[in-house]
């Protein structure tokens, strides 16, 4: 039988063999951590600690009044050494809190555990998720409590747990499903209780047969009614809109959100964080990071504290080898190239991919040969070549008419382009320009 | 060939022509839109470059808004004082003309001065590079160096020098502000002609970091702040800023001790040539 999937998409080499069978190792607690005040989509936090102040593990160091925002916490027990601007792995410099370790053992500041969550109010549970600083750990870092509080007029009937991990190289979610199913399933149950839905699906790509088996077994052992769906291996299977199409055969309307078709999608890492926050009262201070690629000596999956400098994680994995030319945060399709290895691990750091020279498209882009391959792979049914060209020529209004804002920036078009045209980069630029145009129109009107 | 064919075709084509021209004549009378004659007159006085510096899509749209009373008569930053006065005469009011503005590049971190963070092989456009981590120069605040400002200048008043820094040609700059608007790092500022003294740096890093980043960066030592009267130069997050209300209108550098030579004067006789 053909496995369920979405239309179009691409098949990059998945390269998961480096780490897919390696158990998660716990990184020693670092001496210093840098906690960025912005690790999520939304309003940045403001500092609520002072220089020289003692902080406990799990204590808030930044918070915000805004609804679309998420607090940040100290990931070690120590003293605030400095508050200043440092390099953020997502680019640019942002305000961060530098914490120097004083206690080698964690002195936790826990929130009261809500072990009896089945009988706790949904608002209390969602407030807990907000207080714990939980954001989407798949890589986009959208605050989870916002997703779990849809407007009243949107009826949510289905929850999908995203275990696709369609980005090549990354295996953090894969290992989490194999090793921590006993946390994922309660986390998922808590999310579903908050949303008030009965139908729960777990979508996993078929290249992780062990994870599928473990999850199926854990679901039946725990007496849950979740359905584990094995999906075709295709990029970007783990994109929200694609996953909804694959599992539910529903199409999110243009410009809409998953909630418009009654679905909410969360990553497996997020479910673990939710279970930890609600059942154990722990804030989000650590995450699983896949350190992989042919540029690292010992590829591993590590459980790292938020704020750990990349350099320290790379050293734990045997360090970079001599051929390494590029280090990405995230996978090779959507990840961001890094130039400063002192940048801290953030909530969105799903992996650190280190690659050697081969396979890096450094050549100059050639002219478009009108082959249409990008059009045939775009999972959003857009015309990447045309939109990118319009963006390049500054024809913002025309690009908007062709639906540039629907682009999910998965990078499939750039991946297949035989002329190596940086299509998705042009489209990103065009999206920025459309935003500027909209603002200007508003001002003039 | 039958002569009739020629006669018939000439008659029918001529007849059709007459019919359509009559239609057009009627339409011209019936559907005529009363347009304020002043719009065309105002248009005559505008530069016609459609640069958008006034905030409207083009000169015609600006003229329309002037006549409707929605835009200021001196709202075109490119227009000469004479032009603005001519528009004022058309509108029957006094013109309020401001001081001439010139674009100033507040950064001297070219290829030679700045440290590099790696190889950038993406799109050679400042904004695209800014989205992807900011090009190859290590400074997160300064000029990226792909010349988007030069591309958008409608008056050819800018060029990139061999150090990959934009240079403004004062005589040609009309103060439209297109370059300042497009710059993703806000390195270009619009200054009145009377501002003579500048601190050409936009870097807010701590002294330790800014020294590593660029040899011409303001390191925030505060020597200049102490060399002048209080409030004339202000230290703002590791970067000295001149308070032009009280200082900076005389081309005199306040201290010779500035360790990175961040100061620059733009006198009347000098151009804004940047030392490479």
pLDDT tens digits, one per residue of B202-217: 998 888 888 888 988 9
* pTM score, whole prediction: 0.82
Write the pLDDT tens digit of every residue in B210-263: 888 898 899 888 888 888 888 888 888 889 988 888 887 777 788 777 888 888
Q: If one looks up domain B37-91 in CATH, what number appears?
A: 1.10.15.40
Please give the DSSP secondary-structure letter assigned to residue B113: T
- Domain at B101-265: CATH architecture: 2-Layer Sandwich (3.30)
Residues A393 and A419 in one domain: yes
Sites in chain A below the pLDDT cut of 70: 1, 357-363, 445
Write the pLDDT tens digit of every residue in A287-321: 999 999 988 999 999 999 999 999 999 999 999 98
Residues A148 and A231 in one domain: yes
Residues A217 and A309 in one domain: yes
Interface test with B, best of A339, A364, A394, A428 (most B CBs within 10 A): A339
CB A384 within 8 A of CB A8: no
Q: Is residue A431 part of a domain?
A: yes
pLDDT of residue B73: 74
The reply to whether B101-265 shares the fold of B37-91 is: no
- Which H helix or E strand runs over A286? strand A286-292
Instruction: Tell me which of A311, A326, A355 is where a domain ends.
Output: A355
What's the number of domains chain A is made of?
A: 2
Question: Which residues of chain B neighbour A93 with C-beta distances below 8 Å?
Answer: 140, 205
Pairing of strands A263-267, A158-163: parallel
Q: Is residue A270 part of a domain?
A: yes
Write the pLDDT tens digit of every residue in B144-187: 999 999 998 888 899 999 999 999 998 888 888 889 989 999 99
ipTM score here? Answer: 0.82
Domain of residue A334: give its range: 1-27+113-355
Q: Is residue A53 part of a domain?
A: no
Q: How far apart are CA A45 and CA B49, in angstroms?
A: 44
Question: With an 8 Å Cβ cutoff, are B118 and A339 in contact?
Answer: yes
3-class SS at A328?
A: strand
Tokens 């440290």, residue? B115
Q: Is the peptide bond before A233 cis (omega within 30 degrees of 0)?
A: no
Domain ranges of chain B: 37-91, 101-265
| Structure tokens given for B85 | 């006065």
Q: How far apart are CA B229 and CA B221, in angstroms?
A: 16
Q: Is residue A365 part of a domain?
A: no
CB A189 within 8 A of CB A272: no
Q: How far apart are CA B196 and CA B200, in angstroms?
A: 12
The size of the A-B interface in CB pairs under 8 A is 46
* B123 close contact with A: CB closer than 8 A: yes
pLDDT of residue B78: 81
- Which H helix or E strand runs over A34? strand A32-36
Question: With an 8 Å Cβ cutoff, are A422 and B117 in contact?
Answer: no
pLDDT of residue B76: 82
Question: With an 8 Å Cβ cutoff, are B133 and A339 in contact?
Answer: yes
Residues A343 and A380 in one domain: no
Question: Nearest CA to CA, how far is A355 from chain B (Å)?
Answer: 15
Write the pLDDT tens digit of every residue in B89-123: 887 766 555 678 899 999 998 888 898 888 888 88
Q: Is residue A75 part of a domain?
A: no
Residues A341 and A386 in one domain: no
Question: With an 8 Å Cβ cutoff, are B131 and A337 in contact?
Answer: no
**C-alpha angle A129/A43/A330, rounded to 5°?**
75
Residues A213 and A313 in one domain: yes
* A92 close contact with B: CB closer than 8 A: yes
Q: What separation in angstroms does the CA of A304 have from each of A170, A289, A381, B109, B135?
A: 15, 7, 38, 37, 29
């Amino acid at each position: 039988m053909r496995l369920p999937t979405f239309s179009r998409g691409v098949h990059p080499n998945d390269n998961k063999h480096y780490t897919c069978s390696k158990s998660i190792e716990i990184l020693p607690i670092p001496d210093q951590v840098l906690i960025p005040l912005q690790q999520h989509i939304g309003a940045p936090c403001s500092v609520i600690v002072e220089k020289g102040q003692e902080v406990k593990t799990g204590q808030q160091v930044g918070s915000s009044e805004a609804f679309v925002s998420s607090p940040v916490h100290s990931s070690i027990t120590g003293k605030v050494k400095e508050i200043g601007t440092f390099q953020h792995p997502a680019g640019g410099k942002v305000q961060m809190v530098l914490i120097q370790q004083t206690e080698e053992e964690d002195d936790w500041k826990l929130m009261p555990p809500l072990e009896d969550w089945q009988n706790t109010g949904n608002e209390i549970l969602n407030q807990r998720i907000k207080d714990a600083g939980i954001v989407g750990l798949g890589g986009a870092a959208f605050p989870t409590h916002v997703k779990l509080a849809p407007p009243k007029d949107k009826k949510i009937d289905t929850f999908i747990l995203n275990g696709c991990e369609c980005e090549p190289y990354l295996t953090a979610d894969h290992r989490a499903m194999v090793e921590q199913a006993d946390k994922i399933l309660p986390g998922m149950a808590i999310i579903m209780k908050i949303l008030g839905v009965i139908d729960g699906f777990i979508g996993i790509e078929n290249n992780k047969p062990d994870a599928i088996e473990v999850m199926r077994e854990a679901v039946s052992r725990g007496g849950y009614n979740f359905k584990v769906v094995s999906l075709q291996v295709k990029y970007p299977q783990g994109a929200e809109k694609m996953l909804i199409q694959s599992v539910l055969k529903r199409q999110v309307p243009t410009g809409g959100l998953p909630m418009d078709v009654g679905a909410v999608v969360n990553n497996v890492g997020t479910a673990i964080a939710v279970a930890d926050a609600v059942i154990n009262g722990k804030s989000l201070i650590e995450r699983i990071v896949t350190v992989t690629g042919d540029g690292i000596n010992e590829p591993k999956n590590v459980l790292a504290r938020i704020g750990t400098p990349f350099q320290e994680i790379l050293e734990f994995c045997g360090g970079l080898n001599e051929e390494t030319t590029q280090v990405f945060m995230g996978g090779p399709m959507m990840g961001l190239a890094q130039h400063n290895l002192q940048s801290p691990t953030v909530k969105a750091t799903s992996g650190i991919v280190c690659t050697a020279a081969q396979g890096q498209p450094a050549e100059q882009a050639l002219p478009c040969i009108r082959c249409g391959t990008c059009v045939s792979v775009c999972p959003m049914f857009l015309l990447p070549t045309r939109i990118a060209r319009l963006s390049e020529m500054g024809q913002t209004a025309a690009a908007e008419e062709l639906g540039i804002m629907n682009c999910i920036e998965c990078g499939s078009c750039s991946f297949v382009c035989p002329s190596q045209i940086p299509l998705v980069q042009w489209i990103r630029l065009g999206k920025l320009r459309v935003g500027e145009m909209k603002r200007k129109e508003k001002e003039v009107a | 060939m039958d002569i009739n064919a020629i006669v018939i075709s000439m008659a029918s084509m001529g007849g059709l022509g007459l019919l359509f021209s009559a239609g057009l004549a009627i339409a011209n009378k019936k559907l005529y839109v009363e347009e304020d004659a002043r719009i065309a007159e105002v248009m005559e006085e505008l530069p016609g470059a459609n640069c958008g510096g006034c905030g409207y899509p083009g000169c015609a749209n600006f003229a329309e808004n002037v006549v409707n009373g929605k835009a200021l008569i001196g709202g075109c930053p490119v227009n000469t004082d004479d032009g603005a006065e001519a528009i004022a005469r058309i509108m029957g009011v006094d013109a309020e003309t401001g001081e001439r503005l010139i674009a100033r590049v507040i950064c001297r971190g070219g290829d030679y001065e700045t440290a590099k963070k790696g190889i950038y092989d993406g799109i050679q456009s400042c904004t695209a590079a800014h989205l992807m981590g900011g090009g190859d120069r290590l400074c997160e605040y300064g000029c990226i160096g792909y010349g988007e400002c030069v591309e958008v200048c409608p008056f050819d008043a800018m060029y990139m020098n061999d150090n990959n820094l934009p240079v403004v040609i004062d005589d040609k700059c009309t103060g439209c502000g297109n370059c300042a608007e497009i710059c993703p790092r806000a390195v270009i500022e619009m200054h009145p002609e009377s501002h003579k003294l500048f601190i050409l740096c936009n870097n807010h890093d701590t002294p330790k970091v800014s020294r590593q980043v660029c040899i011409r960066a303001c390191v925030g030592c505060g020597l200049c702040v102490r060399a002048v009267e209080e409030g004339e130069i202000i230290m703002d997050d590791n970067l000295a800023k001149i308070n032009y209300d009280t200082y900076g209108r005389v081309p005199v550098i306040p201290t010779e001790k500035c360790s990175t030579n961040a100061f620059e004067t733009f006198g009347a006789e000098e151009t804004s040539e940047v030392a490479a």
